[in-house]
Amino acid sequence: MTDITRLLLEARRSLAGELDADLAERGYPDLRPGHVALFLSVDRRSGSRLTDLADHTRLTKQAMMSMVDDLESHGYVRRVPDPADARAKLVRLTARGRRAAAECRRAVQALEQRTRRQLGDRSYDTLRESLETLSEPIEPEE
């Protein structure tokens, strides 16, 4: 019997592969599933601080900085001064980034719909609830 950690990892790889292929079909072969979290986390109006993006996506600040550097070099985001704090920068989506973010949202929705069809409504809802529960911090036993 395969342990749950391995099953979750394999499911993640499978879903990420589908998302990767879908993004390529939508005209974004340079985007990876990891980029999707950033695209869906950036405040589309004012931009977001790198530290906020790292916290929201549960990545280290260094990993987020590397991702922002990569996306900036491809023209998806840009860094601008934060009007609330001259020492800080905001990450903002460029026009290309806004189009990519919209396609990321559509790709995620399509993946969720395919997964729901594959599992059926009841199993999908149960899985989603279970994953949300597992994502919460575990309280230590006394």
Q: pTM score, two decimals? A: 0.84
Under a CB-based contact definition with an 8 Å cutoff, are residues 51 and 63 in contact? Answer: no
DSSP H/E element including 2: none
Render each residue's pLDDT in the chain as its tens digit; 142 residues.
779 999 999 999 999 999 999 999 999 999 998 899 999 999 988 999 999 999 988 899 999 999 999 999 999 999 999 888 888 899 999 999 999 999 999 999 999 999 999 999 999 999 999 999 988 877 777 6
* Domains within the chain, CATH numbers bracketed: 4-135 (1.10.10.10)
Under a CB-based contact definition with an 8 Å cutoff, are residues 24 and 104 in contact? Answer: no
DSSP secondary structure letter of residue 86 = E
The 85-93 sheet, strands edge to edge: 48-49, 85-93, 77-82
The pLDDT tens digits for 16-36 are 999 999 999 999 999 998 899
